[in-house]
Structure 1
Amino acid sequence: MSDTVLKDAMVYLIAAGVLVPLFHRARIGAVVGFIAIGVLLGPHGLGRLAHEVPFVRILTISDPARVAPFGELGVIFLLFLLGLEFSAARLWALRREVFGAGALQVALCAAPLAGLLYLPFGDPGLALVIGLSLALSSTAVVTQLLIAEHRSLTPFGQLVIAVLLFQDLMVVPILLAVDLLGPQGGDVAWLALSALGKAAAAVVAILLAGRFVLAPLVALAASTGLRDLIMAITLVVVVGAAGLTHAAGLSAALGAFLAGMLLSETAYRHQIEIDLEPFKGLLIGVFFVTVGMSVDLAGVLPNAWLLVKVVVAVVGLKVVFTYAAVRLMGTARPVAAEASILLAQTGEFALVVLGLLAARRLVDPAQMSALVAAVVLTLALTPLLARLGRRLGARLERDEARGLEAPADAAGLSGHVVIGGFGRVGRTVAAILARENVPFVAVDADPMRAAVERRSGQPVFFGDAGRLDLLERLGGDQASAFVVTLDAAGPAEGMVRAVRARWPQAVVVARARDGAHARRLSALGVAGVIPETVEASLQLAGRLLEALGLPEDVVSARIAEAREAERAALQADGGRQDA
C-alpha cells in the first residue's frame, strides 16, 4: 500500500473524528458533516492550494479516484442494511399508510419535480429518474429525529415511518431505471425488456438461493456460536448477491438490497445489523466524502441565488404535494402539516443516484455539483424544518382543540378527583378510580391525546393543568383530591402551586420522576410523594426477597418499612428547604 493511500486514510479518519462530532453537536448531522469534509479537503476545496502551498497537501485527500471504490462499497452495505429493515409482517401492519400515503406522496412529488428538471436536462427519462430520487426523503435523518423526540410510536411517527418505508421500496425501480439510461442505442423497448428479463432472472436466482441455501447456511453458522463465522457468511451473501446483479447488467446495490430482504426474515437479523453498523458508518462516510469532493464551490457560488431558488422550489413542492397526499388518506390537518414539512428534504439516496449517473457520464460536472449542493442544503435544513413543522402542527392542534376545553358546567361536579396529565400514569389512576366508582375529570396539554380520549368516552379536557382558572372550571372547589401525574417537573410543580394557592387544605398526591423532583414537590406541601425510581427499586427488592424464600407477610413488612423511611427522608428534606 502506497504512502499516499495511507495518508488519505489518516486524513479521512482524523477529519471524521474531529469535524463530524462538531456537526453533530450543532445538530446538523453526520451526512452533512461527511459531505462538508469532502468539500473542504477535496480537489475543489483546500486542494486548489496544494500546488502553491505544499503543506496543504498533508491536509487534503490526494487521489479521490482511489477513495471512490470504498465509497461504492459503503453504498452496497447501506442498501443491504436498508433491505434488512423490510419484512412482510411490517409492511402488512402499515399497508394502508405505506401503499396509500406513501405511494401518493412519491407520485405527486415526483411528477412536478421531473417537470422542473426537464428544462435543464432535456431528457424526460433522466428528469424522471432524478425527480423520483428527489421525491424521496432522508430515512436516516428523519428516523433519528423521531427516536430522539420519543415520537416513533405515536400516530404521527407511524405515518412518517410508513411513508419512508414506501420511499425505501422505490429504491428498486429507481435503480432499474438508472440501468436503463444511457446512450445504448437500438430499440429502447427491447433494451427495457432485456434489462427486466435479466433483473427477473437475477432476482429469482437470489430468492432461490436464499430459500434453499442461505437460510440453512446461516442456521448452521449460528449453531456453532461463532459470531465471526456468521459475519463471514453474511459478507459472502452480500458480495455474492451484489456480484450477481452486477453481472446481469444491473446495479450491485440492488443485489445487496435483495440480500438484506432475504436475511430480514431470519432470526439473526438484529445481530447482523449490530455487527455491520460500525463498518457501514465508516464506509458510507467515505461515499459521502467522495460526493462532497465532487462539489465545485467555485462553480456553485456564482449561481448561489439560483441554487437558493432551486432549494426553495424543491422544498415547497414537496411540502404542498406531501400534504395533499397525506390529507387524501384522511389524516388530520395538524399531523399532515407537520409530516409534510418534516419530509420536505431530499435524502441520501438522491446522492447515490447522482453518483451512479455521474459515473455513467449522464450528468455533467456542473449539473452534478449544483444538484449535490441542493440536496446537501435540504439535508442541512432538516432540523429547522422539523422545528417549523412542530410549531405549525402544535398551532393547528390548538385551533382544533378549542372545542376540547373544559366547559363551564364541569364546575357542577362534586366529590370527584382532578387528574393533571392523562398519560400512562394518569390512565392507570383513572382506571383504578373507575373500578371503585369514584368520579374523576382529567386535563392534558396534548390536544391529540385529549381528542382520542374524549372519543373513547373519557372525561379528558385540553389545557394547562397549572392554570387556576382551568382547575376552577374543572370543579376544583368541590374536588375531593388532586392527582398530579404530569411527566415534566416544571408543569407538575406549577399545578401543585396553583392548587395550594387556591385550596391550601386540599388532598394533593403527585408522582415524581426522581429524588430531586420528589423533594421539590414535598417542599411545596405534597404528602405521599414517592419517586418512580424508588418505587421501582422497592418492587424489585420485594421480588428478590420472595425469590430468596422469605414469607410474603415479612416481605410486605420490609417493603413498607423502607417506603416509610423514604417518605420520612423526603419530608425531612422538604422541611429543611422550607427553613
Structure 2
Amino acid sequence: MIVNESVLSLGISLIALFLAGFLGAKINQSLVAIFIVVGIILQNFFPVTIITEFIAKLGIIFMLFMFGLEFSVGSLLNNKRKLFNTGMYDLLFNFPVGLVLGWFLGYGLLQSILLAGIIYVTSSVIVAKSIIDLRRSANPETEYILNVLIFEDMFIAVFLAFIIGIVNYGSMDAKGACFVMLKTSAFFLFFIILARTSKKFIEKIIDIEHTELFVILILSIIVLSAGAASRIGLSEAIGAFLAGLLLSETKQRHRISEAIKPFQQFSTAIFFVAFGMSIDYKHLGSLVPMGIIIFIISSFSKIICGYFIGKKYDLNKRAGLRLGFSLVPRGEFSIILAGAITMNSHAYPLKSLTGVYVLLSAILGSIMIKESEWFIKWFLERKKVWEKIPESGTN
C-alpha cells in the first residue's frame, strides 16, 4: 500500500514537473528554481516518500558523476596555472563573504563554513546554459568563466567530502579535521592515479558493444564508487564525481554521457523537487528579507570579482563586467551543500534560507546574465558622469 502511494505521488510529481518545466521553458526561466517551487507546492498534498528520497539521492550521485565526466585530468593539468589563479581569485573574493554572513546570523563555525560554500559556488548548469543560449561561447570572457566554474566544482567536491567527513567524525577539532583531510586526499589521489596509469585497462573493460550491458556496467561503476566513498565516511556524491573523472579519460566518454544523461536528468529533477518539499514554506516570508540581503551582497562580490579577473587578464571593462554578471546564479551545488547537515532550530534555518537564496539568485541571476549589456551600459555611463564631475568643478 505504501509503495503504491509512493508510485502515485511520484507520477503526480512528474506531471507537475513537466507542466511547470514546459511553462518555464516558454518564458526562458531557470528550471532549477521552477522545480524547487514545484516541490514547495507539492508538500501540501503528500510528504516526501521513500521512493522520492531514493531517486533524489541518485540525482546527486548522477549529477556529480556527469560533472566529473566533463573534466579531464590531462587537460586540467595542462591548464593548471590559469585555472588555479582565476579560481583562487574567485575563492578569496567570495568564500569569506559567507563566513562573515554566517557569523552575523549567529551560526556556529561548521554552519558558517557551510554557508560560505553555499554562497561561494556558482551554478554551472545555469551559467553553461546561458552561455549557449546567448551565443557567448566565443566571447573573450567565456574562457575565464569556465576556468572559474571548473575550479569551483573541483573545490566544492573536496569541500563536500570534508564537511560530510567532519559530520560523520562528530567533531571539528584539529585531529578530526586532519584525519578527514588525509582520508579525502587519499581517496582523490587513488582515483587520479588510477585514471592516469590504467587508461588502457579501463578502456578494455568498458569496450562493450551491447548497449544494455554497457549501461549496466557504467551504472555499477558509478554506484560502487559512491558506495565505497560512503563506506569510508565520505559523501556518495564524491565517489560518483571521481568515477566520472576516471572515465573521462576514456574514448567512450561521449557514449557514457549519452547513456547516463536520461537517468541524470530524471533523478536530478526529482532531487530539486524533494529539496523544495523539505523547505518549511510557512516561514519563507520571514526569510525573504535576509535572502534578498545575502543575494545583493554576494552578487556584488561576484561582479567585482569578475571585473578584477578581467583586469588581471587584460580584458576590456565590458568583458570583465560580463564575466562578473555570469557568476551570479546559484543552484545545484548550493542545494547539495544545504542538505549536508540538518539545522532547523535556528532563527534562520539553513535549508529554508538556502531555498530562498537559490530561488532569488537562479531567477534574478539568469535575468542579470541575459540583460548584462544593459546593466554594463548603465554602469559605464554613470562612471563617465562621475569622472567628469571633478573636471567641471575645477573650471
Cα pair distance change 1:395/1:291, threshold 3 Å: same
In the TM superposition, residue 156 of structure 1 has moved relative to its aligned partner by 2.2
Partner secondary structure for residue 105 of structure 2: helix
Partner secondary structure for residue 169 of structure 1: helix
Match of 2:298 among 304, 314, 337: 314
In the TM superposition, residue 393 of structure 1 has moved relative to its aligned partner by 4.3
In the TM superposition, residue 89 of structure 1 has moved relative to its aligned partner by 4.3
Match of 1:105 among 74, 78, 90: 90
Cα pair distance change 1:87/1:117, threshold 3 Å: same
Check whether the contact 1:334–1:392 (CA below 8 A) recurs between aligned residues: no
Cα pair distance change 1:126/1:303, threshold 3 Å: closer
Check whether the contact 2:344–2:350 (CA below 8 A) recurs between aligned residues: no
- Asked whether 1:168 is paired with 2:153, we answer yes
Check whether the contact 2:105–2:348 (CA below 8 A) recurs between aligned residues: no
What is the letter of the counterpart of residue 29 of structure 1? S
Check whether the contact 1:345–1:378 (CA below 8 A) recurs between aligned residues: yes
Partner secondary structure for residue 162 of structure 1: helix
Q: Hey, what does 1:378 align to over in structure 2?
A: 361
What is the letter of the counterpart of residue 14 of structure 1? I
TM-score by length of 1: 0.61
Check whether the contact 1:134–1:347 (CA below 8 A) recurs between aligned residues: no
Check whether the contact 2:166–2:172 (CA below 8 A) recurs between aligned residues: no
Partner secondary structure for residue 322 of structure 1: helix
Cα pair distance change 1:137/1:203, threshold 3 Å: closer
What is the letter of the counterpart of residue 16 of structure 1? L
Aligned partners of 2:313 and 2:222: how far apart in 1? Answer: 37
Cα pair distance change 1:61/1:327, threshold 3 Å: farther
Cα pair distance change 1:214/1:65, threshold 3 Å: farther
Match of 2:128 among 143, 147, 152: 143
In the TM superposition, residue 33 of structure 1 has moved relative to its aligned partner by 1.7
Cα pair distance change 1:330/1:278, threshold 3 Å: same
- Any stretches of 5+ residues in structure 1 without a counterpart? 48-59, 401-579
Cα pair distance change 1:115/1:62, threshold 3 Å: closer
CA displacement 1:280-323 (0-9 Å, x = unmatched): 01101111001111222221113433332232222223222332
Aligned partners of 2:189 and 2:372: how far apart in 1? Answer: 43
Partner secondary structure for residue 349 of structure 2: helix
Aligned partners of 1:363 and 1:200: how far apart in 2? Answer: 33
118-127 vs 272-281, which moves further: 118-127
Aligned partners of 2:79 and 2:282: how far apart in 1? Answer: 46
Match of 2:268 among 269, 279, 284: 284
Mapping of residues 74-85 of structure 1, within 5 Å: 74-85=59-70
Cα pair distance change 1:189/1:383, threshold 3 Å: closer
- Asked whether 1:243 is paired with 2:227, we answer yes
- Asked whether 1:258 is paired with 2:242, we answer yes
Q: Hey, what does 2:30 align to over in structure 1?
A: 29
What is the letter of the counterpart of residue 373 of structure 1? V
Aligned partners of 1:244 and 1:362: how far apart in 2? Answer: 32
Cα pair distance change 1:186/1:78, threshold 3 Å: closer
CA displacement 1:18-46 (0-9 Å, x = unmatched): 1111112111122112111101111xxxx
Check whether the contact 1:99–1:166 (CA below 8 A) recurs between aligned residues: yes
Q: Hey, what does 1:335 align to over in structure 2?
A: 319
Check whether the contact 1:202–1:248 (CA below 8 A) recurs between aligned residues: no
21-30 vs 169-178, which moves further: 169-178
What is the letter of the counterpart of residue 243 of structure 1? G
Q: Hey, what does 2:390 align to over in structure 1?
A: none
Check whether the contact 1:337–1:392 (CA below 8 A) recurs between aligned residues: no
CA displacement 1:435-464 (0-9 Å, x = unmatched): xxxxxxxxxxxxxxxxxxxxxxxxxxxxxx
What is the letter of the counterpart of residue 323 of structure 1? Y
Cα pair distance change 1:350/1:98, threshold 3 Å: same
- Asked whether 1:133 is paired with 2:118, we answer yes
Check whether the contact 1:70–1:287 (CA below 8 A) recurs between aligned residues: yes
Q: Hey, what does 2:177 align to over in structure 1?
A: 192
Q: Hey, what does 1:456 align to over in structure 2?
A: none
Aligned partners of 2:13 and 2:340: how far apart in 1? Answer: 22
Mapping of residues 3-152 of structure 1, within 5 Å: 3-42=4-43, 47=44, 60-92=45-77, 94-152=79-137
Cα pair distance change 1:385/1:238, threshold 3 Å: same
Cα pair distance change 1:272/1:363, threshold 3 Å: farther
Over aligned residue pairs, what C-alpha RMSD do you find?
2.8
Cα pair distance change 1:314/1:395, threshold 3 Å: closer
Partner secondary structure for residue 146 of structure 1: helix
* Larger Rg, first or second structure (1 or 2): 1
Cα pair distance change 1:189/1:296, threshold 3 Å: same
Cα pair distance change 1:212/1:367, threshold 3 Å: closer
> Higher relative contact order at CA 8 Å, sep ≥6: structure 1 or structure 2?
2
Q: Hey, what does 1:439 align to over in structure 2?
A: none
In the TM superposition, residue 262 of structure 1 has moved relative to its aligned partner by 0.8
Cα pair distance change 1:260/1:147, threshold 3 Å: same
Partner secondary structure for residue 381 of structure 1: helix
In the TM superposition, residue 104 of structure 1 has moved relative to its aligned partner by 0.4
365-374 vs 342-351, which moves further: 365-374
In the TM superposition, residue 218 of structure 1 has moved relative to its aligned partner by 4.4
Mapping of residues 357-506 of structure 1, within 5 Å: 357-358=341-342, 366-393=349-376
Aligned partners of 2:340 and 2:216: how far apart in 1? Answer: 28
Partner secondary structure for residue 299 of structure 2: helix
84-93 vs 113-122, which moves further: 84-93
Aligned partners of 1:118 and 1:85: how far apart in 2? Answer: 35
CA displacement 1:150-182 (0-9 Å, x = unmatched): 221332222211211111111222113312444
Check whether the contact 1:83–1:259 (CA below 8 A) recurs between aligned residues: yes
Aligned partners of 1:102 and 1:204: how far apart in 2? Answer: 21
Cα pair distance change 1:209/1:169, threshold 3 Å: closer
